[in-house]
Amino acid sequence: MTLRQGVDATGTEAAGLDNVIEVGGLRQRYGDFEAVRGVSFTVPRGEIFALLGTNGAGKTTTMEVLEGFTPATDGTVRVLGLDPIRHRRELRLRVGIMLQEGGFLGDLTVAETVDLWKGLSEDGGRPVTLSGTTTLPGSFNLMGRVRGVDRRTMGALELVGLESKARTKVRQLSGGQKRKLDLALAVLSAPEVLFLDEPTTGMDPEARRTTWKVIENLRAGGTTVLLTTHYLEEAERLASRLAIMHEGRIHTYGTVEEVVAGSGDTVAFRLAGVTWSFGDLPSLDGTVPTLTYAGGGTEVTYTLTGGRAEARAHAALRPLLKWADERGETLERLAVRRGTLEDAFMRVVGEVR
Amino acid sequence: MRRAGSVGESGAIREERTAAVAADTADTANTAQEKWGAIMRTDVLHAVRLARLDLTLVFRNTTVLFTVLLLPLLMAWLFTQVQGGAEISGVPSTLYVLTGVPGLMLGFAVFTNLVNTFTARREELVLKRLRGGQPSSVAVLGGSALGALALFLGQVALLVIWINRSDGVLPANVPLLVLAAVLGVVLFGLFAAAFSGITPNAELAQVTVLPVILLMMVGAPVAFSVDMLPGPLGTVATLLPVTPVVTIMRTAFLGQDHFSGSGEALGMAGQWVAALPSLGILLAWIAVAALLARWLFRWEPRHG
The three state secondary structure string of chain A is CHHHHHECCCCCECCCCCEEEEEEEEEEEECCEEEEEEEEEEEECCCEEEEEECCCCCHHHHHHHHCCCCCCCEEEEEECCECCCCCHHHHHCCEEEECCCCCCCCCCEHHHHHHHHHHHHHHCCCCCCCCCCCCECCEEECCEEECCECHHHHHHHHHHCCHHHCCCEHHHCCHHHHHHHHHHHHHCCCCCEEEEECCCCCCCHHHHHHHHHHHHHHHHCCCEEEEEECCHHHHHHHCCEEEEEECCEEEEEEEHHHHHHHHCEEEEEEEECCCCCHHHCCCECCECCEEEEECCEEEEEEEECCCCCCCHHHHHHHHHHHHHHHHCCCCEEEEEECCCHHHHHHHHHHHHC
The whole-number pLDDT of residue A295 equals: 83
Say if residue A17's pLDDT is above 60: no
Is A11 in contact with B61 (Cβ distance < 8 A)? Answer: no
For the segment A247-265, the average pLDDT, to the nearest whole number, is 85
Is B134 in contact with A107 (Cβ distance < 8 A)? Answer: no
Express each pLDDT in A287-315 by its tens digit: 888 888 888 889 998 888 877 778 888 88
Contact between A75 and A27 under an 8 Å Cβ cutoff? The reply is yes
The separation between the first and the last C-alpha atoms of chain B, rounded to the nearest angstrom, is 46
Which B-chain residues 117-136 have CB contacts (< 8 A) with chain A?
A: 124-126, 128-136
Determine what percent of chain B is predicted with pLDDT higher than 70: 88
Residue A277 backbone dihedrals phi, psi, to 5 degrees: -135, 170
CA-nearest of B148, B126, B130, B129 to B138 is B130
Contact between B149 and B75 under an 8 Å Cβ cutoff? The reply is no
For chains A and B, CB pairs below 8 A equal: 109
For the segment B184-205, the average pLDDT, to the nearest whole number, is 94
Contacts of B3 in chain A (CB under 8 A): 122, 125, 127
Whether residue A55 lies within 8 A of chain B, CB to CB, comes out as: no
Task: Choose among B9, B129, B299: nearest Cβ to A99.
Answer: B129
How close A60 comes to chain B (CA, Å)? 13
Q: Which residue of B has its CA nearest to A186?
A: B133
Q: Which residue of A has its CA nearest to B4?
A: A127
Mean pLDDT score of chain A: 86
Say if residue B261's pLDDT is above 90: no
Whether residue A90 lies within 8 A of chain B, CB to CB, comes out as: yes
Complete domains list, chain A, with CATH: 18-94+223-262 (3.40.50.300), 264-352 (3.30.70)
Least confident of A260-269, A322-331, B81-90, B101-110: B81-90
The whole-number pLDDT of residue B18 equals: 46
The whole-number pLDDT of residue A31 equals: 83
Contact between A187 and A159 under an 8 Å Cβ cutoff? The reply is yes
Question: What value, to the nearest 5°, has the Cα angle with vertex A328 and ends A327 and A330?
Answer: 110
Tell me which of B27 and B74 has the higher pLDDT.
Answer: B74
At B291, which amino acid appears? L
The whole-number pLDDT of residue A2 equals: 34
Is A11 in contact with B6 (Cβ distance < 8 A)? Answer: no
How close A62 comes to chain B (CA, Å)? 15
ipTM for this prediction: 0.82
pTM of the entire predicted model:
0.82
Q: How far is CA A235 from CA A23, A255, B269, in A?
A: 20, 11, 71
Contact between A101 and B125 under an 8 Å Cβ cutoff? The reply is yes
How close A244 comes to chain B (CA, Å)? 24
The whole-number pLDDT of residue B148 equals: 95
Task: Choose among A4, A67, A120: nearest Cβ to B14.
Answer: A4
In Å, the largest CA–CA distance within chain B is 77
The whole-number pLDDT of residue B3 equals: 39
Mean pLDDT score of chain B: 85
For residue B85, name the pLDDT band (cuts at 50, 70, 90).
Answer: low
Is A69 in contact with B132 (Cβ distance < 8 A)? Answer: yes
Whether residue A131 lies within 8 A of chain B, CB to CB, comes out as: no
- Dist CA A39 CA A249 (whole Å): 6
Which B-chain residues 60-79 have CB contacts (< 8 A) with chain A?
A: 60-61
Which B-chain residues 11-30 have CB contacts (< 8 A) with chain A?
A: 11-12, 14-15, 17-18, 20-21
Contact between A20 and A193 under an 8 Å Cβ cutoff? The reply is yes
Whether residue A104 lies within 8 A of chain B, CB to CB, comes out as: yes
HSE toward the beta carbon, residue B275, CA cutoff 13 A:
28
SS3 assignment, position B88: strand
